[in-house]
Structure 1
Amino acid sequence: MKLRENWRQFTLRIDALSLRERALVMLGAFMVLFLLWDWLLMADIGVRSKAMTNEIGVMQERTQQLNQLIAAAARRGGDPNVALQADIKAIRTRIAALDEMLDARAGNVIPPQAMAGVIEQVLVRQGRLELVSARSLPPSPLFESAALEGDALGAVYKHGLELEVEGRYLDVLGYLRELESLDWQFFWEAVVLEGGDYPSNRVRIRVYSLNFEEGWLGV
């Protein structure tokens, strides 16, 4: 009962404000909602994406180190030393184990060629947002060290997609949550609120998938 009375008093105060004052109040409320969105949703998504990316990076670095050991051993050429051959065999066994770990860890990561279609399907199914634009981003190595060393063996590539959607705040939030709940896994790089005419908002979303191939991802 007290809550209802407090709400009634609040609405009376809002009604007593001028049009300009109401606009300022609405702007302030919108900013509070945006900060809550950023804190509750995007912070959690970002932490999980970063953790998985770091884990894959550690595995990739170990694989590259083992590949370098094999290359160094091979440069020693036709050495019939039995111990050397045993070392090479052990290294290759470890590489195979790391490859299996990478495949298992990234097993539910969405294939780059399927990402645009899946994201669009969710947008159509929700039906409350307008797709303003969508474009593929050039593939790039997940870790700069792989690009600098010029070693494509074991390299992991980012295949990105950027889209802009427009709609009400709660509909945008619902869309992001639905994307996050998919069985497929992809990674969030950025979610930027770019404003719009109230109550509509325009949001730029940048996501990416991972693949061992550098091939171009088209929309």
Structure 2
Amino acid sequence: MSGAIVLHDRVCTALARGRRRFDARAARERLLLIAASLALLGLMADFFLLRPALADWSAARARHAVAVAALQRAGADEARRVAVEQQLARDVAQGQARVDHAAAELRALRATLVAAPEMGPLLARLLSGVAGVQVRSMLSLGPTEAAAAGAGAPAAATPLYRHGVELVLEGRYADLLGGLQAIEALPQRMLWGGLRLQVEQHPTVVLTVRLYTLSEQRSWLEL
């Protein structure tokens, strides 16, 4: 305890001596000492307080810049993802519209086509009334799968079959042309296939023509 008292007395004595010396100086010298002391305190504060705080602030600012850049990249990626999804949705909608349009056209076409079992009898009656045309033969070509009737998934769509008839006709060219025009003028339409002309003995011409219709039934009345 006595040592602490002695130290305290020495400190007080030194401070009092320093104060007397300070007071003994001229006013200008006292101002210079005060300014120097304040400058020293400022340097110490800068070294011990301001520089660490500035370093922490700089590090925090750098972390903030990194976070902002990451958010901007994430926003750009999200915008690209949304744009891709929107484009895919437009492509799907356009594709579905084309499928629906094709399905509507197919339904409209089927509504005008002759029924498969009626092809043979209809052609026989028609051509029997065309002067100068003789039917050599009428042959069924059998069904082949043509398309799907529905616009939904292929597994759920109704298959369509193409039924064909091959006619071999004989007559003069002008008479055969009249027969083809009569077929074309039928209210019940048929799909045209190949045509082949052969002159056997002038003026007789042999015409081979193929006609088709569409049906959901695979089997039909054989000719």
Q: Normalized against structure 1, the TM-score is what? A: 0.50
Structure showing greater relative contact order (alpha-carbon pairs closer than 8 Å, 6 or more residues apart): 1
Q: Considering only CA atoms, is the larger Rg found in Structure 1 or Structure 2?
A: 2
Q: Normalized against structure 2, the TM-score is what? A: 0.49
